[in-house]
Amino acid sequence: MRFERFLVDFIPRSGLIYEDHQRVRLLGRNEHDACVLRALIGEGIIKTGKLTRAEITAAKHKVEGALCAVFAAGCAPEYRAFLHHWDVPNFEENLRRQATWTRALGENVFTQLIHAFVNARLAWNRRPQYPYDKSEHSALAKQIDIFLESVGDDWVAAEEFHHNCAYYGGFDDDDNLNAADSMAHSMNGSNSDGSDVDMENLDSILHCDV
């Protein structure tokens, strides 16, 4: 029996504004959405077959819980430590490996997944929509806020560092530490608690195609 549901049927909406194409898919390509859906089905988070309304509602709660767990894990010191060394790839790779269903995803798909939800939350922050009271937002939206408060400064700086390396062809090994320290000082000042996260800068980095 063909499963006639899509990933977008199970993702939270409150407090998140997705890009236009995300009415039919969450990620950039349909097959990437299918990868995530298969991983969630394989973990038993989503059932196959014809689902009742109650089963769809239950699946949505389970999906949201699984997504919240990913962002909550990213706040842990052992994951944040990678960002202190500008190591975005290892931060995201270790985050990907923290759950069975995320381990079933490729690195590119997992990175897209994380960025899609962060971008959706940042989009709501730029253009608030009903419900305006954040206390009424989805658990995922609230968890993303906690994630950004926890790792935001480090993630912004590390993402920009890697973006600049890709765009300008990278730094020489001898210059890496000095470049990183200089960038950290210019972007974050002396803050390391995420209290002054540069959301506009993060948003532009996550949307940038290199």
Is 24:94 a contact under the CB 8 Å cutoff?
A: no
pLDDT at 194 over 70: no
Q: Which of 64-73, 161-170, 180-189 has the highest mean pLDDT?
A: 64-73
- Each as own residue / partner, the long-range contacts of residues 102-108 (CB below 8 Å, 24 or more positions apart, any chain) are 102/39, 102/70, 104/35, 104/38, 104/39, 104/42, 104/43, 105/35, 105/36, 105/39, 106/35, 108/32
- CA–CA distance, 30 with 102 (Å, rounded to integer): 18
| pLDDT confidence tier of residue 172, bands split at 50, 70 and 90 | very low
Write down the pLDDT at residue 57: 94
CA angle 92, 173, 178 (to 5 degrees): 85
pLDDT in tens, 135-162: 999 999 999 999 998 887 667 666 665 5
**Would you call the peptide bond into 131 cis, given omega within 30 degrees of 0 as the criterion?**
yes
When mean pLDDT is compared across 19-23, 31-35, 124-128, the lowest value belongs to: 19-23
| pLDDT confidence tier of residue 188, bands split at 50, 70 and 90 | very low
Half-sphere exposure of 206 (CA within 13 A, CB side): 22
pLDDT at 178 over 70: no
The set of residues, in sequence order, having a beta carbon less than 8 Å from that of 67 and lying 6+ positions away, is: 11, 12, 117, 140, 143
- CA–CA distance, 134 with 138 (Å, rounded to integer): 9
The set of residues, in sequence order, having a beta carbon less than 8 Å from that of 4 and lying 6+ positions away, is: 50
The set of residues, in sequence order, having a beta carbon less than 8 Å from that of 33 and lying 6+ positions away, is: 6, 7, 8, 25, 26, 27
Residue 49 Rama label (left phi>0; alpha psi -120 to 50; beta): left
- CA–CA distance, 60 with 14 (Å, rounded to integer): 13
What percent of the chain is modeled with pLDDT above 70? 68
| pLDDT confidence tier of residue 163, bands split at 50, 70 and 90 | low
